[in-house]
Amino acid sequence: MDMKAKVLVVGGGGREAAIVDALSRSPRVGKIFCAPGNAGISLQAKCLPLEDTQIDELQDFALKEGIDLTVVGPEVPLSMGMADQFEAAGLRVFGPSAKAARIESSKDFAKRIMEKYGVPTASYRTFEDYAEALEYVRSKNTFPIVLKYDGLAGGKGVVIPENLADADEALKDMLLDDRFGKGKVVIEDYLEGPEFSFLCFVDGEKVYPMVLSQDHKRAFDGDRGPNTGGMGAYTPLPFISGEDRDFALEKIMKPVARGLVAEGCPFKGVLYGGLMKTKDGIKVIEFNCRFGDPETEVVLPRLESDIYDIFCAVADGKSVGELKWKEESVMGFVLASKGYPGKYVKGKEISGLNEALSDPDVKIYHMGTTVKTASDLKEGRCWTNGGRVLMVLASGKTPRQAHDKALAAVQKIHCENLFYRTDIGHWAL
């Protein structure tokens, strides 16, 4: 009898590709399923024709198939209560309850937790009423100012107006026209400094830090252009000292984990601290209740410990032990459809994937691709099927080496409709 574990990964982007890849390195894992997965993921997992929000169908599948562990990638199913429902059905699941996921799904909840447990962040006020919110911005009269819609808004809920007229327009959008639904707006002070991501495995009060990473949010070189879901990421971060990292762990991540326990919603899963190194110290910009995308794609390749064991230990409330990491740099470049994050077309052919993979230090995680026949990927081709399409990454002894190897691989990939940044990791070079 095959005693190897069956694992279900929920989601279908680059993050899930990295999770599936890490799981496939575990000698304890047998078969991996991914819902919905994508073309690249299908090389390592059986993709299911189910969306990540079809919780009932996914639960039926997990029960029937005898899945040993379900790992939930995206925030939407988590805030819909997927982990709660799986746990109630007796299924082992890695991911927080809907109540704990409010650390991401409600900006106001996250700010209240930070305030109550003394975690450094920008000062703020929350408003439901448009006129009161506008009056607050007018009387404060300092720009830029940061306006955050309180609920999940697919990365589009943060606006940073430079003047009162733009602030007014954004507040109207959020509080009068209910662009994202009926909700509140958090208004907070604008902070400055480099941002970085601190992902930790968290089980109640226990916090197991991962290596630090940074994502590049702007579309174009030199940190110009519109905000995107992330155009690349890298690890480690030479500009964050050991002292800064210890501060972030002891004064930010641990107090929040303890705070969530004290509030009756212990967190289980990955707690993502979106942090900023300001001139007044490290402060929180946001929390997410899941692995970051594209940070996960560069962080997990450095993990030497068995990720299946980590997921199970967190899910079962057992000790994870010390995590082991490779001492190397990893840099990843996102290839995105021209026009992204605005309008773009799909269905353009991509070639050269095998040439890019000829360097053994290079990996490609698919974010939004499709194939026409099962042999397409073997022949190194696929078609664009999303805004962010591929993440091409390389490991190296130094940031420079990782950067140059990844960029060389990117340049071997051909597609008339893709663009990328060339300056990923510029803070570290």
- Applying CB under 6 A, the residues found at the interface with ligand AMP are 122, 146, 148, 158, 188, 190-191, 195, 217, 274, 285-286
Q: Cβ of residue 426: shortest distance to ligand AMP, in angstroms?
A: 16
* 294, 316 Cβ separation under 8 angstroms: no
230 touches which of ligand AMP, ligand GLY, none (CB within 5 to 8 A by kind)?
ligand GLY
The nearest distance, CB 290 to ligand GLY, in angstroms, is 8
Task: Select 21 or 286, whichever has its Cβ closest to ligand AMP.
Answer: 286
Cβ-in-10-Å burial (0-12, 13-18, 19+) of 218 comes to: middle
Cβ closest to ligand AMP, residue 288 vs residue 417: 288
Buried-exposed string 245-279: b where 16+ CB fall within 10 A, e elsewhere = bebbbebbbbbbbebbbebebbbbbbbbbbbbbee
- Sign of the Cα pseudo-torsion (249, 253, 259, 265, in order): negative
Report in angstroms how near the CB of residue 105 gets to ligand AMP at its nearest.
12
Minimum distance from CB of 198 to ligand GLY (Å)? 12
Nearer to ligand AMP, 126 or 384 (CB): 126
**Binds 288, which of ligand AMP, ligand GLY, none (CB < 5 to 8 A, cut-off by type)?**
ligand GLY
**Which residue number, 153 or 249, has a Cβ lying nearer to ligand AMP?**
153
Per rule CB under 6 A, is residue 215 in the interface with ligand GLY? yes
Residues whose CB is less than 8 angstroms from the CB of residue 273 and which lie 6 or more positions away in sequence, other chains included: 197, 198, 199, 200, 248, 252, 253, 256, 284, 287
Per DSSP, 196 falls in state E
Binds 285, which of ligand AMP, ligand GLY, none (CB < 5 to 8 A, cut-off by type)?
ligand AMP
Among 295, 297, 306, 376, binds ligand GLY (CB under 6 A): 295
Report if residue 150 touches ligand GLY, rule: CB under 6 A: no
How large is the angle between the packed helices 107-116 and 254-262, nearest 10 degrees?
A: 100
Contact by Cβ (8 Å): 75, 289: yes
**Nearest approach, Cβ of residue 85 and ligand GLY (Å):** 24
Complex with ligand AMP: residue 170 or 285, whichever CB lies closer: 285
Nearer to ligand GLY, 52 or 215 (CB): 215
Residues 6+ apart with CB under 8 A from 56: none
48 φ/ψ sector (left φ>0, alpha ψ -120 to 50, else beta): beta
Residues 92-131 as x/- pattern, contact with ligand GLY by CB under 6 A: ----------------------------------------
What residue 122 binds from ligand AMP, ligand GLY, none (CB within 5 to 8 A, per partner kind)?
ligand AMP
Residue nearest to ligand AMP (CB): 286
Structure tokens at 218: 């702007």
- Is residue 104 within 8 A of residue 289, CB to CB? The reply is yes
Give which of ligand GLY, ligand AMP, none residue 228 binds (C-beta under 5 to 8 Å, depending on kind).
Answer: none
Do the beta carbons of residue 237 and residue 182 sit within 8 Å? no
Rounded to 5°, the CA angle 117-121-122 comes to 135
For residue 98, the partner it binds in ligand GLY, ligand AMP, none, with Cβ less than 5 to 8 A by kind, is none
- Closer CB to ligand GLY, residue 137 or residue 252? 252
Question: CA–CA separation, 246 vs 39, rounded Å?
Answer: 39
**Choice between 265 and 270, CB closer to ligand GLY:** 270
Residue by residue, DSSP assigns 334-374 as: EEEETTTTS------EEB-HHHHTTSTTEEEEESSEE-SST
Candidates 65, 54, 24, 25; CA nearest to 41 is 24
- Residue 230, interface with ligand GLY (CB under 6 A)? yes
In the three-class reduction of DSSP (H, G, I as helix; E, B as strand; rest coil), residue 210 is classed as coil
CB of 82 to ligand GLY, least distance (A): 18
Instruction: Give contact residues for ligand GLY (rule: CB under 6 A).
Output: 215, 230, 288, 292-293, 295
